[in-house]
Structure 1
């Protein structure tokens, strides 16, 4: 069910908080597995540590290394549970990660920042605070300018033992099929039957089910009772009613019925005039 949208309220001018517009911020592009972890973080959680070391070579940009924290490990530590640390030395007997699950990320993962200048671009970071879901006004979002982009950077992982372990688990998770065969430890009580066997049994049953001829008077009584309900029948319907062989049934029908070869009741049987006894409309109304 779609909720109607008030276009006037949606496009109405809104107040924007620009108190932090002069603050300088960095625009950083991070890998997908890092962003997936950050989405699960509550506000105010430390997600990593940034180390900036100046180069001894003049006119060279400083080296920036960003070490990310494993958010799931930090949660278990804060809750008092014992964390399960995944190390590179214990990766010889690694298990296959099921498809659709995020593979285990090492406790710390080092990344290198490749910093570039913004140039003549003017970029700002804005935030939008969602209103109270119980509120009737769905267009009261608060817009704020969080700062102006001063630097752009790309977060590239440093290829070490932890990163190789992460990529191996990602490949295993991607290559693991969704449907797998499992060995049933106990025997199955009902074995499957081939369709061909069932077909042959039905065919034999049809051959043995030979229709025997009934007395002529009994067959005629059944036909007369059927024609009292309907005026026209085809041969298949009469076979189902009388349960008689086709040649024997046609012999009786030729005596008491006429076969229509023209429309609108083509290829259907009807009682001969001398055997017909249909109630008129007056008789039906009186009854």
Structure 2
């Protein structure tokens, strides 16, 4: 936390104006050098009050985007502030003292109280009309426009066939067209496969037999069962009458009968 000094009230009674200015005027003030003159304010006669106050900006003919901006502006002053009391508070950092150099101080002061509220509006002249015309033209411009090309654009060249399609066609040619073989030959290939592993997926069996999926499934329904439960879900297994191996239940029963036979002896 920063240590805060006492509030300076030496300028609290000074009257100040609260002026609302256009953005290009505030930009010119922000970019001005310190202590330089940004403009001149000409006050009217005392009888008319501040109605004839004219503010002229110094050395400002265009804004950041290059649009022309008027230099003369008129102050539109409000008659009274009502029951609102406003003051200007300034806060700035000051160097720390020698006793505690690590703690910077904050100096706060009241620069004055608001006695007039006014708006700085540009005077209606030819420059002001040009500025409004530019704003209306930019506002009516569509976000997307049609531009006629004078020369061919070579950024994108269409291809007759893409690399992914070429690789897919080569893969299909390597695999060849799947032609139906005799049912006995397919069953022989399946039996040879199931001698190595007990469970197979359809994709693996298609790769082994090189047969159409529909034709292969017809043969699998005759000689295999489809597992619907874990741990071998979505796999095919030979039916019990085609198996040459024993299940766990059969192994247990055969071991039990052999033990009974040995005890009788």
Selected match of 1:253 from 202, 210, 220: 220
Alignment of 1:156-175 (within 5 A): 156-175=121-140
Partner of 1:115: 77
Distance, in Å, in 2 between the alignment partners of 1:172 and 1:148 is 42
What does residue 238 of structure 2 align with? Answer: 271
Alignment of 1:8-157 (within 5 A): 9=1, 15-54=6-45, 59-62=47-50, 63-70=52-59, 102-106=64-68, 109-116=71-78, 117-129=80-92, 140-157=105-122
Contact 2:70 2:122 in 1 (8 A): no
Task: Give the Cα separation in 2 of the matches to 1:123 and 1:141.
Answer: 22
Conservation of the 8 A alpha-carbon contact between 2:12 and 2:110: yes
Report the Cα distance in structure 1 between the residues aligned to 2:134 and 2:246, rounded to whole angstroms: 86
Larger of the two Rg values belongs to structure: 2
Q: TM-score, normalised by structure 1?
A: 0.59
- Preserved contact between residue 70 and residue 128 of structure 2 (Cα < 8 Å): no
Q: Does the residue aligned with 2:237 lie in a helix, a strand or coil? A: strand
Relative to structure 1, the CA distance from residue 41 to residue 271 in structure 2 (aligned partners, 3 Å threshold; closer, same or farther) is: farther
Q: Once the 2 structures are TM-superposed, how far is the Cα of residue 257 of structure 1 from its aligned partner?
A: 2.2
Give how far 1:173 is off.
3.3
1:210 to 1:122, Cα distance in 2 relative to 1, 3 A: same
User: What secondary structure is seen at the aligned counterpart in 1 of 2:43?
Assistant: strand
The number of equivalent residue pairs is 227
SS in 2 for 1:166: helix
Superposed displacement of residue 270, structure 1 = 1.8
Pick closer, same or farther for the CA change 1:154–1:107 going to 2, 3 Å: closer
Distance 1:255 1:157, change over 3 A: same
Which sections of structure 1, spanning at least 5 residues, go unmatched? 1-8, 72-84, 87-100, 280-287
Residue deviations 1:36-83, cap 9 Å, x none? 44333343343221111316xxx4224100112355xxxxxxxxxxxx
